[in-house]
Structure 1
Amino acid sequence: MKKLLALSILAACSTSAFADVNYALSISQPEHHLGNVSVEFPKTAQAHIDVKLPAWRTGRYEILNLANGVRYFHAKDENGKALKWEKIDHSTWRVHLNQPTEVNLDYQVYANELGKRARHIDDSHAFIDASGFFMFSESFRQEPVTVNLDVPKKWRSVSGMDNLKGKNTFKAADYDVLVDSPIETGINQLHTFEVDGREYDLVVWGNGNYDIDLMLSDLKKLVATGNVIWDSYPYERYVFMVHATSGAGGATEHLNSTIIQRPRDRFAKREDYLGFISTAAHEFIHTWNVKAYRPKGLVPYDYTSMNYSKLLWIAEGSTSYFEDHLLVRSGIETTDEFFKVMTKTINRHLQTPGREVQSASETSFDKWINQGGDHARNYGTNIYSEGSLLSMALDIDLLEKSQGEISYRDVHKALYNAHKMPEGFTEQDVLTILNDLTGRDYSTWWKENVDAPANLNFDELLDKVGLKLERPEKAKALASMDALAKSSGELLTLSHVRRGGSAWKAGLTIADKIVAINKHQVGKDLKTSLEMFNAGDKVTIDYIRRDELATTSIVLSEDFDKPKKVVSNKDATLEQKALFKAWIGVEHPADVKKDEK
C-alpha cells in the first residue's frame, strides 16, 4: 500500500496536470534590443528536464536558429538554489534535478530581427512571437500558459490571446496556442470593430501614408466573406497587426491574428494598397486553411526540426488563389484588378523554366531547403504561384463538369468539416473528397499535375470562363538574350540567364559582366542595348568572367515590350458567362454596364 501511495505521489509530481507554465518578459533596455525572460515550470520528479527554443516559427518553413539570441541562461529550483545544466544541441538546454522541484529559468534575449517576424525590440515597441522568446518543455507543452509583460508605461499590449489582470498579462490554453498568438506591444494605434458578432482589432505600429478609415472599411468587408467558402468561423476574436516600417516586408498567419509588414510609404497608391489588402485576405484565409486544418506532415508541429509535407501547395498556394476571390466578391477589388493579378501569376509561371522540372508536390516537400535566385528559377517552382494555378485549374474543371454546382471551395469546406485540428489531412483525403463530391476519380489528374510538373493550357482554361490571354495590339517585337542584367558601374552584370534561352545556349551565366555587343559598349540596360537588333540576328558578346575578357556569339530570340494579359472575352457565350459568375461570384464584365464598373 505504501509503495502504491509513493508511486501515486511521484506520478502527480511528474507533470502537474493543472499547474500553469508562467512566462515573464521584462523590457528595460529597449533601445539595445534586449529583453529578460523568466520561466516557471511546475513541479516535476524527472531526473532532468529538457527546455528548448524553437528552431523555426509557424508560417515560415525555414530553420531560423532562433536560439542564437539567448544569453545569461540560469536555472534554479523552487528554493532558489542553482541547478546544474548543459546545452545538448543548438536549441536545447538540459537541466538536471536531484529531487522533485519546480524549475525556474532566467535568460536574456537579443531581439533585433524585425523581418523574420519572430523577435524585435526597440525604443518604440516589441513584437513578441513566442518562438523567438519563450522556451518550452515537451513535458509541459500541453499545460496552461500565462505571460506577463513588464514594459514601458506608455506602451500598449495587444494579442489574440485572452487578456488577464490588466493590459500586460495574457493566458493561453497551452504552448501551441502561445506560439501561434504573437503580442504587439509599444506605441501604437488601436482600432476595434465588430462584424457578425465577432470582435476584431486593428493595431498599427509606425507612421506611414496609410488611410486608417479605408483599411477599417475594407477589413470589415473582408471578414464578412468567410461563409463564401466555409460554413463557420474558427474564432470569436481576431487581431490584424500591421507594421508600417522600413527594411522589412511580408506577413505571417497565426491562430487568431496576423502580422503584416510593409514599407511605411507603400499604402497610398492603389497598387500598393491592393498589395496590403490582398495580404490581409491571404492571412485571413489561413485562419481556416493551415490553422483550422492542415496537412498531416505539420500535425503536431515539431518546433525543433523540419516538418515535411507534399501538400504545402494547398496550404499556401490555394490560400493565394482564394484571396482575390474574396476581394472581388466583397467589392474591394474590381475584376480588372483581379485580371492584373492573374496576368502576373500566369506570366511568372510561363517565364519560369523550373516549371518543367519540379512538380508541386516536390516543391512542397523541398520548401525547407529551396534556394532562391537564378538556379531556383531555372530548376524549381514555388508553392505559392504553382499552388495558386493548380487550384485555378482544379476549380474550373470542377465547375465546368458540374455546370457550376461544384467548386474548389467545396473541397476546402469539406477539409474544414472533416479534418479539423488536431487531425491532419493527407493526399488520399483530398482525393476522397473530390470523389465524394463529383463521383469521379481524380488520381490520374493528380499524378499528371501534382506529382509531375503541370502542363497547364491557359488558353483553354480561361476560355471556359469567358476570358482570354492575349498580347496587346500595340505590343512591339523585340530582340532578346533571354536574360536579365543589373547595372554595375559602366557594365551590365547578368542576374538571370533563362535555361534553354539564347544566352544560355551561348554559354553565358549569371555574374558575367557584359562589356560590348558587336564591339559597341552596352548602354544603361540590356533592353536598350538590344534595340538596334532584330530577333534572329547573330551578334558577338564581349564579357568579363573571373576578371578576364572573353567573347561568344549569340542568336537573339524574340520577345515583346508588353506581355500577354488576361482580358474579358467580349463575345463570351451565356454558358461561359454563367460559369464565370459561379467561379468568381460577380457578373461577367461583358454584362456589366460601363457606368457600373
Structure 2
Amino acid sequence: MTKNFLGFLVLCVSTPLFASVKYFIDINDPAHHTAQVKMIIPAGMESIDVLLPTWRTGNYKLINQANGIRNFKATSKVGKNLNWQRKNKSHWVIENPTEKAITVSYQLYANELAFRSRHIDSTHAYLDATAVFMYVPQLMLSEHQINLEVDDNWRSFSGLKETGKHQFVAKNYHQLSSSPIETGINKLSEFSVDGRDYQIVIWGEGNYSLEKITKDLKALVKQGSTIWSNYPFEKYVFIIHATSGARGATEHLNSTVIQRERNTFAPRKEYLKFLRTASHEFVHTWNVKAYRPESLVPYDYQKENYSQLLWVAEGSTSYLQDHLLLTGKIQKPKEYFKELAERIDRLQQGPGFKMQSVADSSFEKWIAQGGDFATNHSSNIYSHGFMVSWLLDAKILEDSNLKYSYKDVHNALYEKRKEHSTSYDNFFAAPFNQQDILSIAKQLTGNDYQAWWQKNVLTPFSIDFKVLLDKAGLKFKTDKKKEINVWTGFKSKNEKGFLALTSVEKGSPAWQSGLTTKDLLVAIDGMRVTHENFKMMMEKYAPTREIEVSFFRNDQLMKTQLKLGKRPKKPLEIGLVDNPTDAQKKYFKAWLGIDYPKPDKELLQN
C-alpha cells in the first residue's frame, strides 16, 4: 500500500463529521462575466483556512485561478465582519472566535473560456469547481451543496446528483472538483445504454448535427466493455462548446467538456477529430479518473503533482481512443490508418523524442516549454506516450501468443480499485506505479519487463514502424512518382508583412544556416519575400539549391546562405500487404479488436 494512500486513509478516519458546505452562486451580471459567490462554512472551527486550487484537474500546469476573486469577505452568523488575512494568492485565514457557522463571500470574474476553467456570458456559464469554489481542507470529505441563481430560461447540467432546479450536491470536494457545471441556453440529447444514462449538452451554434453526434456517441459508450470489466459511473454528461477561439477538451469524473470552433464539425475529416476527442475523454473515465499515478492520489490542489507516468495517463489514452472507434464501427480502418500515418509522420519530423525520455517528459509536464524547444529538445506525453504504448502492446501480444494485450494491463489497473475501495470511492482513483505495470505485464506473459522499461520508457526510445506494421499485415505505401517538395525546415507566420519564423527544426536546412525563431525574413536572393508569396517563390527552386536569405534579427539586417533540402510531397500512407498470412490477420484482430479489412484498391495500392 502506498504512502500517499495510507495518508489518505488517516485523513478519512481523523476528519470530523461536519455538516454540509453550501455554495450559492448568483450569476447577476453575465454580460460582464461576473457572479457573486457565497460559501457557508459549518460550525466547529476557531481558525478557518479557505483555499482556491492553483490548478485544475486534467491540466498539469499551475495557473492563476485566484486572479478573478474580488471583495473577499467573511461574516458571522449574525452578520458581523470577521478578521481575515490573505497568506498567499490562493489562501485566506479567517478568525472565528465563536466557532459558529460563517459565510464567506466574493465576487467572481469568469472570462476564461479556452482554459475550460470558468466562463460566464449572457448565454451561459461554464463552472469548473477548482476555479470557482473555495474549499476548507478539514471539510474536503464533507458533503458540498451548490445552488445556482440564473435566468429562468437557463438549464443546468452536471455529472453531480441533481437535487432541484439549478441545484446539485457532491459527496465531497474531490467529487465536486471533477464535476463541472454547464448552465445556460443549450441543446440537449439524452439516451440510455445498458442501464446507464447519458446526456449531450451543446452550447453554441455550429455546423453540427445533434442527431448524428447522438448516434455516434451512443455507439462509442458501448465500447468501454471491450477493455474494462465494468463502468465506474451510472450517469455521464458530454458538454460540448461550439464556439469561436477556443479548442480542446478536459476529462472529469463522469463528464467531459469538449470545445471546438463552431464550424469544424464537418466535413468528415473534421468530424473525425471531434469523435477522437470524445473517445479520448471517455477513455479517461477509467484511465486517470478510476486509476492514476500514485503521486496524484489524492490530488494536491496547491502545488505540482509530479509523476513519471503521465505518458500512461495521456499517451495511452490517445492510443486506446481509436480502438474504441474501430470496435464501435464509428471510423473505418482506412481512416485509422491515415490517422496513424500522420502520427508517425509528425513524430519523425520532430527530433525531440530522441533527446528526452517519455518518463522525463512526464515529470517535466508541469514546467514544459512550447515552441521549437519542445519540438527539438523535448519528448511529448501525448504523441510519444502513444508510441510507447504501441510498443508495449506489441510486446505483450507477442509474449503471450496473442492471448493478452496492453488493454488487459489497463483493466488490471482498474481492477486494483477494488483493493482500495472506501466509503469515498465515488471520487477515489486506484493509485499505481511503475512496478504495478511491470508486475501485471509479467503476470500476463511470464516475462520480465524491467529491461524493456529501461530501454523504452526511462531512455529516449527508437521505434521500427515497418516491423510493427508488418506484424499486422500492414505496410507503408510507396510514392511511385516520388514527388518532392523543397524543404527549408522552418515554420512561419505573417507579422506586419514580414515572414516571421515560429520554429526551426533541428538539423534542417534553416537550422544549418543559423536561422532561428523570431527572425523576420525580408528577401530571398535579393527579392522581397512575404508570408503570402513565400510558397510561390519556393516553387521555382530545385532541392539542394543554395539561396541567400536576408532577415532582421533584433532590428539588425543580416544575411545567410541556406542550402535547400527536400521532403516527399505526399504525406505518409499506410495500406495492406499484398498477401497477408493467417498469422498477420490473427495479430491484427488481437491488436485492434476487428477483423482484418477486406482488400480494396485504395488500401492495396502501392
**TM over 0.5: same fold?**
yes
Spell out the pairing of 1:126-205 with structure 2 (5 A cutoff). 126-164=125-163, 166-205=164-203
Amino acid at match of 2:89: H
Q: Which residue is equivalent to 2:109? A: 110
Q: Which residue is equivalent to 2:400? A: 402
Alpha-carbon contact 1:506-1:553 (below 8 Å) kept: yes
The CA deviation at 1:414 is 0.5
Alpha-carbon contact 1:293-1:416 (below 8 Å) kept: yes
Write out per-residue CA displacement over residues 175-220 of structure 1, whole angstroms, 9 at most, x where no aligned residue.
0001111111111112210001111111111111110111111111
The CA deviation at 1:170 is 0.6
Amino acid at match of 1:396: A
Amino acid at match of 1:215: I
The CA deviation at 1:459 is 1.1
Spell out the pairing of 1:265-284 with structure 2 (5 A cutoff). 265-284=263-282
Alpha-carbon contact 1:358-1:381 (below 8 Å) kept: yes
Q: Which residue is equivalent to 1:485? A: 492
Alpha-carbon contact 1:85-1:94 (below 8 Å) kept: yes
Out of 304, 307, 317, which is 1:306 matched to? 304
The CA deviation at 1:334 is 0.3
Amino acid at match of 1:343: A
Write out per-residue CA displacement over residues 147-182 of structure 1, whole angstroms, 9 at most, x where no aligned residue.
111111111111111111x21111111000011111
Alpha-carbon contact 1:53-1:135 (below 8 Å) kept: yes
- The Cα RMSD (Å) is 1.8
Out of 430, 452, 455, which is 2:437 matched to? 430
Q: Determine the C-alpha separation between the residues in 2 that align with 1:471 and 1:20.
A: 65
Q: Which residue is equivalent to 1:9? A: none
Q: Assess, with a 3 A threshold, how the Cα gap between structure 1 residues 136 and 489 changes in structure 2: closer, same or farther.
A: closer
Alpha-carbon contact 2:311-2:362 (below 8 Å) kept: yes
Q: Determine the C-alpha separation between the residues in 2 that align with 1:25 and 1:541.
A: 58
Q: Determine the C-alpha separation between the residues in 2 that align with 1:195 and 1:360.
A: 37
Amino acid at match of 2:502: S
Q: Which residue is equivalent to 2:575? A: 567
Q: Assess, with a 3 A threshold, how the Cα gap between structure 1 residues 248 and 196 changes in structure 2: closer, same or farther.
A: same
Amino acid at match of 1:80: G
Matched pairs, number: 580
Write out per-residue CA displacement over residues 539-586 of structure 1, whole angstroms, 9 at most, x where no aligned residue.
322222222222222222221211322222232222111101111122
For structure 1, the 5+ residue unaligned runs are 1-13
Q: Determine the C-alpha separation between the residues in 1 that align with 2:238 and 2:70.
A: 32
Q: Which residue is equivalent to 1:3? A: none
Spell out the pairing of 1:526-537 with structure 2 (5 A cutoff). 526-537=534-545
SS at match of 1:215: helix
Alpha-carbon contact 1:245-1:263 (below 8 Å) kept: yes
Q: Does 1:538 align with 2:546?
A: yes
The CA deviation at 1:449 is 0.8
The CA deviation at 1:536 is 2.8
Q: Which residue is equivalent to 1:589? A: 597
SS at match of 2:282: helix
Alpha-carbon contact 1:144-1:174 (below 8 Å) kept: yes
Alpha-carbon contact 1:285-1:319 (below 8 Å) kept: yes
Write out per-residue CA displacement over residues 379-411 of structure 1, whole angstroms, 9 at most, x where no aligned residue.
112211111111111112221232321101000
Q: Determine the C-alpha separation between the residues in 1 that align with 2:479 and 2:51.
A: 57
Q: Which residue is equivalent to 1:11? A: none
Q: Determine the C-alpha separation between the residues in 2 that align with 1:31 and 1:541.
A: 50
Q: Determine the C-alpha separation between the residues in 2 that align with 1:364 and 1:412.
A: 18
Deviates more, 1:155-164 or 1:476-485: 476-485
Spell out the pairing of 1:22-41 with structure 2 (5 A cutoff). 22-41=22-41
Alpha-carbon contact 2:289-2:429 (below 8 Å) kept: no
The CA deviation at 1:537 is 2.8
Alpha-carbon contact 1:328-1:584 (below 8 Å) kept: yes
Q: Determine the C-alpha separation between the residues in 2 that align with 1:257 and 1:376.
A: 31
Amino acid at match of 1:439: G
Alpha-carbon contact 1:25-1:150 (below 8 Å) kept: yes
Q: Determine the C-alpha separation between the residues in 1 that align with 2:533 and 2:450.
A: 48
For structure 2, the 5+ residue unaligned runs are 1-13, 419-427
Amino acid at match of 2:438: L
Q: Does 1:465 align with 2:472?
A: yes
Deviates more, 1:100-109 or 1:319-328: 100-109
Amino acid at match of 1:253: E
Alpha-carbon contact 1:163-1:170 (below 8 Å) kept: yes
Q: Determine the C-alpha separation between the residues in 1 that align with 2:370 and 2:602.
A: 43
Q: TM-score, normalised by structure 1?
A: 0.94
Out of 214, 219, 222, which is 1:221 matched to? 219
SS at match of 1:424: strand
Alpha-carbon contact 2:18-2:139 (below 8 Å) kept: no
Amino acid at match of 1:26: D
Amino acid at match of 1:43: A
Q: Does 1:519 align with 2:542?
A: no
SS at match of 1:117: coil
SS at match of 1:192: strand
The CA deviation at 1:493 is 2.1
Q: Determine the C-alpha separation between the residues in 1 that align with 2:486 and 2:462.
A: 27
SS at match of 1:239: strand
SS at match of 1:294: strand
Deviates more, 1:471-480 or 1:361-370: 471-480
Q: Determine the C-alpha separation between the residues in 1 that align with 2:405 and 2:181.
A: 37
Q: Which residue is equivalent to 1:504? A: 511
Amino acid at match of 2:29: Q
Alpha-carbon contact 2:342-2:571 (below 8 Å) kept: no
Alpha-carbon contact 2:353-2:380 (below 8 Å) kept: no
Write out per-residue CA displacement over residues 41-66 of structure 1, whole angstroms, 9 at most, x where no aligned residue.
111233x1110011111111111111
Q: Which residue is equivalent to 2:425? A: none
Write out per-residue CA displacement over residues 502-532 of structure 1, whole angstroms, 9 at most, x where no aligned residue.
2111111112222333334436354433333
SS at match of 1:43: coil
Q: Does 1:286 align with 2:284?
A: yes
Q: Which residue is equivalent to 2:204? A: 206
Q: Assess, with a 3 A threshold, how the Cα gap between structure 1 residues 28 and 491 changes in structure 2: closer, same or farther.
A: closer
The CA deviation at 1:496 is 1.6
Q: Determine the C-alpha separation between the residues in 2 that align with 1:199 and 1:515.
A: 59
Alpha-carbon contact 1:16-1:43 (below 8 Å) kept: no
SS at match of 2:43: strand
Q: Determine the C-alpha separation between the residues in 2 that align with 1:178 and 1:489.
A: 46
Q: Determine the C-alpha separation between the residues in 2 that align with 1:28 and 1:519.
A: 60
Alpha-carbon contact 1:16-1:44 (below 8 Å) kept: no
Amino acid at match of 1:384: Y
Alpha-carbon contact 1:16-1:42 (below 8 Å) kept: no
SS at match of 2:265: coil
Q: Which residue is equivalent to 2:44? A: 44
SS at match of 1:231: coil
Q: Determine the C-alpha separation between the residues in 1 that align with 2:236 and 2:600.
A: 35
The CA deviation at 1:356 is 1.1
Alpha-carbon contact 1:403-1:579 (below 8 Å) kept: no
Out of 557, 561, 564, which is 2:565 matched to? 557
Write out per-residue CA displacement over residues 226-261 of structure 1, whole angstroms, 9 at most, x where no aligned residue.
111001000011111111111111111000111111
Write out per-residue CA displacement over residues 104-145 of structure 1, whole angstroms, 9 at most, x where no aligned residue.
101110001111111111111111111111100101011011
Deviates more, 1:139-148 or 1:15-24: 15-24
SS at match of 1:58: coil
